[in-house]
Homo-oligomer: A and B are copies of this chain.
Amino acid sequence: MLSERRLEVLRAIVQDYVGTEEPVGSKALTERHNLGVSPATVRNDMAALEEDGFIQQPHTSAGRIPTDKGYRLFVDRLAGVKPLSAAERRAIHNFLGGAVDLDDVVARTVRLLAQLTRQVAVVQYPSLTRSTVRHVELLSLAPARVMLVLITDTGRVEQRVVDCPSPMGETVMADLRARLNSRVVGRRFSDVPQLVVELPESFEQDDRSNVSTVLSTLLETLVEETEERLMIGGTSNLTRFGHDFPMTIRPVLEALEEQVVLLRLLGEAKDSGVTVRIGHENAHEGLNSTSVVSVGYGSGDEAVAKLGVVGPTRMDYPGTMGAVRAVARYVGQILAES
């Protein structure tokens, strides 16, 4: 359907538009890219591309700009993923290398990604559902008050204060701690409920209610904290959106504040490989004029969380995809080391 040259024209339009932010006309196109044909020919091709919905005129007798569908074709068939320069790779490595704990890794990743792509960066904390338990700790705060601390293999720590029905002896607590750890350490979060279900039975009658209380708090924590957390940064890059941006920037900022929206957005990404969602492909209305480039990352082969950037549909897709992919890889390495 689409001749080779027409695709070439589309690619040229996308590239020019991304660069100049202005509708691109037939004459300018032939001048910048030597396509070997005249403007008139290009006009015909453009008419055809518009017919098919890949490009569009903002106003009669202005240049053309790509539609979401046009960007989609560009991303799928016309653009590669631009690898980073050696200098950039070194910068990533240095910057991420200095992190001291998980929070720090995530914070640095956000900054890095925002800087590299000059767009808004979103990084999800490693998910609890896919991580495993490194350790469970119980601490006595008061006779009937216990603090429960949960440590994951990704370095995440969650704690809860548990109010027990009756005072809990040190020995019982030590006992519970030992048994709990022997059962769940190294296991996935999702497996924990089955593993602890008959644990109370092995305790004295008097202690069972306390044990059950602690365990149910543990399970609650698992469920509650399966709600993922994330961190965003680089919002000031939104100001580069365009001249008309008061109207545009508002809903985007609002969407970015809704963690739920962002999590859904990242969740839609494939587990492996870079995912690009363009304009109206995003379910959320506020993001209809933005694209989301996301990818999974993890310490091993499996993705434990996602990260990505949000930017105008008119973005440098190859560059952005390259940066996102590279950062995800390095973060994976860092996590694997710790």
Contacts and interface: CB of A to CB of B under 8 A. Distances in A.
Given A233-B257, A246-B246, A137 B149 contact: yes
B157 A159 contact: yes
Interface stretch (A52-60, A61-69, A234-242): A234-242
A253 B232 CA distance: 13
Interface string A16-44: 00000000000000000000000000000
B137 A137 contact: yes
Contacts of A101: 158-160
A134 interface: yes
Contacts of A261: none
Interface in A169-193: none
A151 B139 contact: yes
A267 interface: no
B147 A135 contact: yes
A83 B16 CA distance: 56
A254 interface: yes
A97 to B, nearest CB: 15
Interface residues of A, number: 35
B239 A257 contact: no
A324 to B, nearest CB: 19
Interface string A242-261: 01011001100110110000
A224 interface: yes
A204 to B, nearest CB: 25
25 contacts: A101-B158, A101-B159, A101-B160, A134-B147, A135-B141, A137-B139, A139-B151, A149-B149, A149-B151, A149-B157, A155-B161, A157-B157, A233-B257, A234-B257, A235-B235, A235-B256, A236-B250, A236-B254, A236-B256, A238-B253, A239-B250, A239-B253, A243-B246, A245-B246, A246-B246
Given A236-B253, A245-B246, 20 more contacts: A101-B160, A103-B229, A134-B147, A135-B139, A135-B141, A137-B139, A137-B149, A139-B151, A147-B151, A149-B151, A151-B159, A155-B159, A155-B161, A161-B338, A233-B257, A235-B235, A236-B256, A239-B253, A243-B246, A246-B246
Interface of A: 100-101, 103, 134-135, 137, 139, 141, 147, 149, 151, 155, 157-161, 224, 229, 233-236, 238-239, 243, 245-246, 249-250, 253-254, 256-257, 338
